[in-house]
Structure 1
């Protein structure tokens, strides 16, 4: 019996990599090599118990990356700007991995990419955590490494953290602060990434060379708020905040996030129909919220 092809999954204990590892282990078509900085932490131990080969690697250590990729058929690659807040560092990490994938002969890389907003807008907008991934996408193509880019939309999970509704000044309702005006915003649960990546890896001829925008559905801020109100029992309203006001909010990456929403206002390419074809069980926002009602109520 032929050995299973190995898929190396970076960020295996994070939200994106964890979703991909889970889907691959459940499907059993591929052998899973889960990459983490610390194989001894509980999440990594659980992956080993579930059947993954767990290996240590550091995005800044080329030798460890080479060991993690050696002998693999394919890989899922995710880089994280918010680990260090440096676009240059993220691009360097991504290009190092791309060079290794090319040199080691990987046959299919799925990269968690995003648009190069600065290039697309002629420098009018700069979204560092998008632009770095866009440059990495471009580099994979430049060196002719067989790659599919999956471009995620806004995570539903963000509503449990930085984008959770905030109590209004008068205290009679909660404000949902997303500077999207009345333009629909694509959204998806990061947990639904894994099955989509699995479908892509199982159909390389169809998807190598493509950029795939993933979205479970498109909703206006008012629609998100309406669903939140329905599921939680709280009164939640669209704060109707424009991006220029959002950019001045008192948190460290307000301008960065405002530019992201400004880019979302241009309606970037996210394909709901294709997303549901790649993952027929991808959850709508209401389905996701009902599953996470308790966590949302505590947020």
Structure 2
């Protein structure tokens, strides 16, 4: 049986490298890892990590930039599917549209997009300042307009963000403060190991028929209450942990004077206000009820907090 080629955008980053690993775990696929710098340290580390697959001709690294549509088109030619993602920046929307244009021009059958919903739309315009959500939502809309087959993977909060001071802090007595701003004890959002879970779900999508996955949005997140997370932090560290939500005044003090601090503060404030207004029995930022989570049809699940800690060795 001939193999299908999967092109992976952001292949040397957290999400993309996980997709590369998951796709290579099946001999049904060859992987074309897209990167701006094929000779860079990260690309070379990716090749070294998967040396057996490189030697077997199942993994190649190809130069491509989201700022160059023609270069992207060349890099994508002959691929069956593309895993696409962007990172927040002033050029994010244009880069995402460039990717969609290249996918279309190259005749790629299927785009698997790492996306986020428009909170402005979900909230009826009440919370419009979450820029990293809005940009990805614009790209998703454009992709659906231009391409026949689009599947969206919707991650939750990244466990790796636990290192940020607005998530976990050490008190003077050694107690760990879990400072998630949400006032909700069981918010309608989950958590994701970005380095593993996107890959697991992307591979599951590839292994299902397009007739099932095309047009779908699949939440990629594990739900755990704030109490669950506090207990997980205590198991990981052996230290006492408490949940004390960060106030907006404290957030302002953290962001004041920082580069893009005002924009980041506004986005965080809107994000957690939105989460607090979303029913707890929902998932994916309120898009689905947990009972109707469509990701169940893929037969995979996102990582638990304990699994992420074991893999990452995280400590606050």
Q: Are the counterparts in 1 of residues 69 and 101 from structure 2 also a CA contact under 8 Å? A: no
Q: Are the counterparts in 2 of residues 246 and 258 from structure 1 also a CA contact under 8 Å? A: no
SS of 1:7 mapped into structure 2: strand
Go from structure 1 to structure 2 and tell me whether the alpha carbon gap of 1:162 and 1:23 turns closer, same or farther (over 3 Å shift): farther
Normalised to the residue count of structure 2, the TM-score between the two structures is: 0.83
**Structure 1 residue aligned with 2:314:** 296
Q: Distance in 2 between the 1:177 and 1:240 partners?
A: 4
Listed as ranges, the matches of 1:4-83 within 5 Å are 4-48=3-47, 49=51, 50-51=53-54, 52-81=59-88
Q: Are the counterparts in 2 of residues 247 and 255 from structure 1 also a CA contact under 8 Å? A: no
Normalised to the residue count of structure 1, the TM-score between the two structures is: 0.87
**Structure 2 residue aligned with 1:95:** 97
Q: Which moved more, 1:119-128 or 1:228-237?
A: 119-128
* Cα deviation, residue 210, structure 1: 0.9
Q: Are the counterparts in 1 of residues 74 and 106 from structure 2 also a CA contact under 8 Å? A: no
* Cα deviation, residue 134, structure 1: 0.5
Go from structure 1 to structure 2 and tell me whether the alpha carbon gap of 1:205 and 1:277 turns closer, same or farther (over 3 Å shift): closer
**Structure 1 residue aligned with 2:234:** 229
* Cα deviation, residue 54, structure 1: 0.3
**Structure 2 residue aligned with 1:174:** 176
Q: Which moved more, 1:264-273 or 1:33-42?
A: 264-273
Residue 214 (1) aligns with residue 232 (2): no
* Cα deviation, residue 36, structure 1: 0.7
Residue 240 (1) aligns with residue 245 (2): yes
Q: Which runs of 5+ in 1 are unaligned?
A: none
* Cα deviation, residue 163, structure 1: 4.9
Residue 250 (1) aligns with residue 246 (2): no
SS of 1:110 mapped into structure 2: strand
**Structure 2 residue aligned with 1:268:** 286
Q: Distance in 2 between the 1:148 and 1:160 partners?
A: 31
Q: Which runs of 5+ in 2 are unaligned?
A: 256-260, 279-284
Question: In the TM superposition, what whole-angstrom CA distance separates every residue of 1:206-250 from its partner, at most 9, and x where no partner exists?
Answer: 11111111112x2222321121012211111111335x3454242
Go from structure 1 to structure 2 and tell me whether the alpha carbon gap of 1:279 and 1:153 turns closer, same or farther (over 3 Å shift): farther
Match of residue 196, structure 1, among 190, 201, 205: 201
Size of the aligned set, in residue pairs, is: 287
* Cα deviation, residue 162, structure 1: 5.1
SS of 1:219 mapped into structure 2: coil
* Cα deviation, residue 283, structure 1: 2.5
Match of residue 149, structure 2, among 136, 141, 146: 146
Go from structure 1 to structure 2 and tell me whether the alpha carbon gap of 1:148 and 1:175 turns closer, same or farther (over 3 Å shift): same
Q: Distance in 1 between the 2:200 and 2:297 partners?
A: 10
* Cα deviation, residue 22, structure 1: 0.6
